[in-house]
Structure 1
Amino acid sequence: MHTAADPTRLIRMIEEIDDYAILFLDRDGTIESWNKGAQEIKGYRADEVIGQNFSIFYTPEDLLGRKPEKLMDTAMKLGKASDEGWRVGKDGIRFWGSISIKAIYDEGELIGFSKITRDLTDKFNIENAVSKYARELELRNKELEHFAYVASHDLQEPLLTVTSFIELLKEEYAERLDENAEMYLNFIKQSSERMRSMIKGLLDYSRLGRKLEIAEVDCNVLMKEIKEDLFINIKLGHATIIYENLPVVKGYAIELRQLFQNLISNALKFRNEGTDPVVVISAFKIKGGWKFSVKDNGIGIEERFRDKIFSIFQRLHSRMDYEGNGIGLAHCKKIVELHGGEISLESLPGVGSTFYFNLNTDS
């Protein structure tokens, strides 16, 4: 009869384990036992490796640095040694192994070592691929931001020249210009000014997230300051801004101000004719941060446009109806994403819109 602690039974159990390579080594590191997992991971049969030193699994670089000997020394001194790196299987095939070596003593005398190896090649490759993709993405984002910055900065100069010369032309040749010429020049000037506004928006968009400083932001204080900044618009539009008990969050103060101000400004701009604007800002705690909502009673947005509005330079209305360059909500989306969150929208045309966004401010 075998008990649970029967050495023979334990040895058989170890031999049958196929997802871990479990070996026993003598005091010099010579392999004394081999299991299914070892054959699966390293490729050798038991008769091919028993009697050889376990250093055969190490790369030439590790052998040159005496890594096998150092691991055994550490195990003898500390009782256990762990390591992770490239190992060599049969036919020179390499795998990424995580190993643990434990010194075995009998009545205070070292009699050998147990060694456990896991094949983490798939995990290592996935992590490497993710890391490489993240680096490439970061590089491309930097290149894109640099391009946007340079392009928008350099494009402003010729536009400024165009508008300046139009003013000069109108001033110097005022008596020679008929009504049509005056109208054409005004069209050119207005188009140039719109282009400058769009370029400035692109420049601001490219700068978002360049110099980020985390700070504690009291959203109640922030709302008070935004109301002061928008005082004229609020007064002339007979608007009401409602908020209370908003949280103090950790985030990027300048960007958060821009986020809330853009959403509130939009609510004041896209109002229902004959209706005084009402904007309600609220928040509730969620796992990892806060979820905010900015609700208005404006003109609303049709469902087919709800994904489109967060893209850069997307406008749903003509400039005759509403001024702007179609970049404000793209700014909002980017700012929310800088805080690890997402922004979404619920809206009914003619009734109003509610923008929801979460800020992962606890991390």
Structure 2
Amino acid sequence: MVEEIEDHAIILLDKEGNVETWNKGAEKIKGYLAGEIIGKNFRTFYSDTDRQLDLPTRLLNEASTTGSACHEGWRIRKDGSRFWGDITITAVHDESGEVTGFAKITRDLTERTQSERTIKKHLQELETRNKELEQFVYIASHDLQEPLLNVNNFVELLQHEYAPQLDETAAMYLDVINQSTERMRDLIKGLLDYARLGKEKYLSTVDCHQLVGTLVKDLATNIALSGAEIQCADLPTLAAYPVELRQLFQNLIGNAIKFRKLDTAPQISISAERADRFWKFAVRDNGIGINPAFKDKIFLIFRRLHGRDTYDGNGIGLAHCKKIVEMHGGEITVESKPGEGSTFFFTIPNVDLQSH
């Protein structure tokens, strides 16, 4: 059975480390046929540097003393190429307890090692990109807002000091400039909020039912003006990021109120059910609905489906929702038909706070 195993090199060594047996896995991993290697010392598989450091002898001594020795490192094939080997050497004893030889098992982990290095490289690149993004956020929060503020100030001065000299067209131009700069300031603020999201996150126990109840009180004015009715089933208590989770519910409830049908009071229901290792939440409304062609695009930052004359906002609320859900390790989706309302589903892992 041992001889037929191909994914592990399993061999026996004598007390000096000379090869006594050779299976198919050893032939595949190391490249030697049995007749070429049996009788030769296992030091053949080690690099010149490892031999100079006497690593093979130290591994045999460790196995003799403690019963086994483990090591990972580069090994040499017959053709001179290297592979990353994970080896375990176990001492073999006779009836009197004397070491008579060793059993050696080798796994070729070259692909895994290369994958780990690739991942590490990508993580380093990602860290660099994140630092560049932080620098951009800093510039956006300071350098970009300052000239916009200057433009707003000078427009106000023009409107105030030269109002008698301005005709209707000139006044309209200044209003457009003012609206555009305000719009840009809102976009910059939205971008900053998105970039900062989760910067100082911390897990704690959150009672979702109580959280939604507090939100309903905070949104009382909008709820009263729209005539909205909000029904909330028993929601779970779970480990989450409280600030971000509050913003998630606030955005979804706010959107359900905002995107309502004319002359129809919003009907919003919030529920949750246990699904394997997750809690699956559903926020349903009877609003204007979403064209199925846009159900994925709505989660992109600054993506709007309606003109600003009809619905205000920057198109960033659902992007926030997606980022918050993914921060928790969940997913968010939507099911909707135009004119029939929407249901936003999102999952939050049911984790043990003590494990974090």
Per-residue deviation at 1:197?
0.6
Residue 62 (structure 1) shift: 2.8
Q: Tell me, in whole angstroms, the C-alpha distance in 2 between the residues paired with 1:280 and 1:145.
A: 38
Query: Residue in 2 aligned with 1:350?
Result: 339
CA distance in 1, matches of 2:138, 2:215: 27
Relative distance call for 1:213 and 1:173 in structure 2 (3 A) is same
Percent identical among aligned pairs is 57
Paired residue secondary structure (1:313) = coil
Partner amino acid, structure 2, of 1:54: F
- In structure 2, what residue type is equivalent to 1:307? D
Distance 1:281 1:76, change over 3 A: same
**Equivalent-residue separation in structure 1 for 2:66 and 2:175 (angstroms):** 83
Equivalences for 1:295-306 in 2 at 5 Å? 295-306=284-295
Worse-superposed segment, 264-273 or 228-237: 228-237
Match of 2:193 in 1: 204
Number of the residue aligned with 1:256 = 245
Structure 2 SS opposite 1:83:
strand
Q: 1:264: Cα distance to partner?
A: 0.6
1:85 shift after superposition: 2.2
Given candidates 26, 45, 58, the residue that maps to 2:33 is: 45
By how many angstroms is 1:122 displaced?
A: 2.3
Instruction: State the partner residue of 2:18.
Output: 30
Q: Distance in 2 between matches of 1:175 and 1:219?
A: 57
The alpha-carbon distance between structure 1 residues 87 and 292, as it changes in their structure 2 partners (threshold 3 A), is: same
Decide whether the 8 Å contact of 2:268 with 2:283 is kept in 1: yes
Deviation at 1:123, TM superposition (A): 2.8
Identify the residue that residue 279 of structure 2 maps to in structure 1: 290
* In structure 1, C-alpha distance between the alignment counterparts of 2:321 and 2:19, rounded to whole Å: 62
Q: Which residue of 2 aligns with 1:75?
A: 63
Of 219, 235, 241, the residue aligned with 1:230 is 219
Rounded Cα–Cα distance in structure 1 between residues aligned with 2:180 and 2:12: 80
> Aligned partners of 1:301 and 1:219: how far apart in 2?
27
Does the aligned pair in 1 maintain the 2:67–2:91 contact within 8 Å? yes
Find the aligned partners of 1:265 and 1:140 in 2 and give their Cα distance.
Answer: 33
Q: Deviations over 1:329-357 (max 9, x none)?
A: 11111111111111111112112111111
Correspondence for 1:323: 312
Shift of 1:189: 0.7
CA contact under 8 A between 2:272 and 2:282: conserved in structure 1? yes
Gap change, CA 1:139 and 1:282, over 3 Å in 2 = farther
Cα deviation for residue 179 of structure 1 reads 2.2
Aligned to 2:91: 103
**Cα-Cα RMSD:** 1.9
Matches within 5 A, 1:75-224: 75-107=63-95, 108-224=97-213
Quick one: structure 1 residues 240 and 147, their matched pair in 2 at CA, closer, same or farther if it must change by over 3 Å?
Answer: same
C-alpha separation in 1, matches of 2:153 and 2:350: 46
Q: Is the 8 A contact 2:72 2:85 kept in 1?
A: yes
d(CA) in 1 for partners of 2:235 and 2:138? Answer: 35
Unaligned runs of 5+ in 1: 1-12
Deviation of the 1:320 alpha carbon: 0.9
Rounded to whole Å, the distance in 1 between the matches of 2:121 and 2:277 is: 27
What SS does structure 2 have at the residue aligned with 1:91?
A: coil
What TM-score do the two structures reach when normalised by structure 2?
0.92
Partner of 1:4: none
How far apart, in 2, do the equivalents of 1:220 and 1:159 lie? 42
Q: Which moved more, 1:93-102 or 1:133-142?
A: 133-142
Deviation, 1:129, is: 2.6
**C-alpha separation between the residues in 1 aligned to 2:49 and 2:203?**
44
